Structure 1
Amino acid sequence: MSFQINPLSTALGAEVVGLDLAEPLDEETFARVHQAHLDHQVLVFRDQHLTPAQHIVFSRRFGDLSGHVYDQFLLPGYPEILKVSNKKTADGDFAGLASAGRRWHSDLSYAETPSLGSLLYALEIPPEGGDTLFNNMYRAYEALPAATKSKIDDLKAEFLIGSARKYYTENERPPLTEAQLASVPPVEHPVVRTHPETKRKALYVNPAHTVRILGLDEAEADALLTELTEHSVEPQFVYRHKWRLHDLVFWDNRCCMHIAEPPPPDSNRHMHRTTVVGDTPY
């Protein structure tokens, strides 16, 4: 298949133009897409027209798919798809997880086996605003002073889903039930992880789900976590994605974070997300 891969920024990200993901990809085409994802960390597939089933089929080329702790927002009949939406139902409730991604984070970094990547499909977007920003955690790590790298290379951190830390009001998202909380207990992951495919090192802490860095006193741990997270989102590491209708964006949660800016008042942002299961960080 003939298609183009165009870099979107000097930090990370590329757009894929001329590829129809509703059709099965041959092995050569898939290999090129897979390599582009490893090279650019974020791929933007333009002008896709996908049914939920087609979205799932493409996503599964990269691995098994997971559900989400907010299971009330999974798409009926398609438990692999999370509805990310600020649209309201007839009852006045949100149609999906309206406040998803409002802090810098890596998807499912609070899980024992975090996500490989997420594929977010834009079904309805506001006329302006509602951008998503991505950062390059390889480059953030590589730009650290040697002394900082030496200090953090063997450290671990505790992770817990941001919702359990009461970051959100009940107007933004419903509180987790006892059963949902029990399904996402605190876990430990390395502060610096090695990407299982590229073998490059990347920072792996984030403001939303990292509770604390272990092995240091509280004040030092808090200061270090703030230093690392603020450093990692400096402009030279960040790509801002301005959504187009029917974009499918696929990012690598093993080596980048993202944050979603809220859409303007009285505008809708309605999307479907699949999440590919990853591996235990090391």
Structure 2
Amino acid sequence: MRRAPCVARQPGLHIPGTHKQLENRTFAAMTRLPRVVCQVAGVGGLSLPSRCHVMASITSAARVQTPRDASSPVQRSGVRIAPFDGPLGAEVIGLNLSQPLDADAFARLHRAHLDHHVLVFRDQRISPAQQVEFSRRFGALQIHVLRNFQMRGHPEVLVVSNIKENGEPIGLGDAGHDWHSDLSYKETPSLGSLLHAQQLPSEGGDTLFANQHLAWQTLPESLTRTVQDLRAEHSYLVRYEALRARNPWCPALTPEQIAEVTPVHHPVVRTHPETGRKALFVSEHFTTRILGLPEDESRALLQTLFAHSTRPALVYRHRWQPYDMVFWDNRSVMHLAAGTPDHLRRRLNRTTIEGDAPL
């Protein structure tokens, strides 16, 4: 039985950092908190935590992750759910997504999605129409605000690619390089996203996923008390303007598009509407500030949460294989694109399922 390695055990991790780099980032973020925030959070004042105390918390977080052994997968009707040896994720074996799902298979997939947060389907040679059909089994689909990267004939499909044809990008390329949850900038963010590999580079192009339920469970108690009732602003416009500054191909948004992505406010800690589990719900990609805090305290607290919620002990790194389909729960995880060398080509098709307003 093949096991997907936990990213925390992989040598040479360079995105978002090595263990040592992330240790330094976590400690530095916590020690940069303003005195007022430190005193409220209980992590500072006159005695900031030592590096040992910070890393003891990280080590403790790693110990609580005890996923089911992948050597004992669930198997019914020829379909197996094989959990990864890590903090999240499972491979679905024996299912052909080009064929309709019966009620039993769908129910088991739904349960596995809730339990493991990231599902991997290998070698799925399906059409965009079949991807749309499968995605719709889980809910209505959301259309991305950037219409120019929709697949012709299938507006529900967003093309994610670094490829250019005739000097123009065929898909959304310079995106996802910071941790985020898809469409958190909407009043009703995404339930989940499905990404289907079409063309893969010979190196790079990995996608990382971080378990935000574990991020909440392992948050120091002092910070738990501080953030549990806070709300934060999420904005697509701020991120898109930064993207446009780096990429001249990015078109200006129309007034209609701007109206679709006005900033929204969500709880810093959300409750999963189906499982009742709590999860951190802030990201460096879309979360701009915490409401009710001075700017410097908001920034420092967010940086602390970002560092905590993306520690290696919480992360699964997906190394793409041809025609992989990956389906993740945006209510439970954040993800990040590790990047692709400019001279290599990468293309994937994404569908996004509409969710509920976070509570």
Quick one: which of 209, 218, 221 aligns to 1:146?
A: 221
Q: Report the TM-score when normalising by structure 1.
A: 0.96
Letter in 1 for 2:159: K
Structure 1 CA distance for aligned equivalents of residues 270 and 325 of structure 2: 27
1:156 maps onto 2:231 in alignment: yes
Give the match for residue 24 of structure 2: none
**Which consecutive unaligned segments of at least 5 residues does structure 2 have?**
1-76
Give the match for residue 27 of structure 1: 103
| 3-state SS of 1:166 partner | helix
Q: Deviations over 1:92-127 (max 9, x none)?
A: 111100112111000000011100000000011011
Give the match for residue 97 of structure 1: 172
- More displaced stretch, 146-155 vs 183-192: 146-155
Query: Using a 3 Å threshold, how does the CA distance of structure 1 residues 51 and 258 change in structure 2: closer, same or farther?
Result: same
Q: Deviations over 1:126-164 (max 9, x none)?
A: 112110000000000100111211111110001101533
| 3-state SS of 2:169 partner | coil
- More displaced stretch, 42-51 vs 213-222: 213-222
Letter in 1 for 2:173: A
Quick one: which of 178, 185, 197 aligns to 2:254?
A: 178
Quick one: which of 144, 149, 174 aligns to 1:73?
A: 149
| 3-state SS of 1:275 partner | strand
**Does the CA-based 8 Å contact 1:164-1:176 persist in structure 2?**
no
Structure 2 CA distance for aligned equivalents of residues 173 and 257 of structure 1: 27
Quick one: which of 215, 240, 246 aligns to 2:292?
A: 215
Structure 2 CA distance for aligned equivalents of residues 61 and 124 of structure 1: 26
Quick one: which of 256, 264, 267 aligns to 1:187?
A: 264
Q: Which has the higher contact order (CA 8 A, sep 6+)?
A: 1
| 3-state SS of 1:35 partner | helix
Give the match for residue 47 of structure 2: none
**Does the CA-based 8 Å contact 1:70-1:176 persist in structure 2?**
no
1:42 maps onto 2:131 in alignment: no
Structure 2 CA distance for aligned equivalents of residues 280 and 172 of structure 1: 34
Deviation at 1:182, TM superposition (A): 2.5
Query: Using a 3 Å threshold, how does the CA distance of structure 1 residues 193 and 165 change in structure 2: closer, same or farther?
Result: farther
Query: Which structure shows the higher helix fraction?
Result: 2
| 3-state SS of 2:316 partner | strand
**Which consecutive unaligned segments of at least 5 residues does structure 1 have?**
none
Quick one: which of 76, 80, 92 aligns to 1:4?
A: 80
Deviation at 1:169, TM superposition (A): 3.7
Identity of aligned residues (%): 53
Query: Using a 3 Å threshold, how does the CA distance of structure 1 residues 106 and 230 change in structure 2: closer, same or farther?
Result: same
| 3-state SS of 2:233 partner | strand
Deviation at 1:261, TM superposition (A): 1.4
**Does the CA-based 8 Å contact 1:59-1:65 persist in structure 2?**
yes
CA RMSD of aligned residues (A): 1.3
Structure 1 CA distance for aligned equivalents of residues 156 and 251 of structure 2: 22
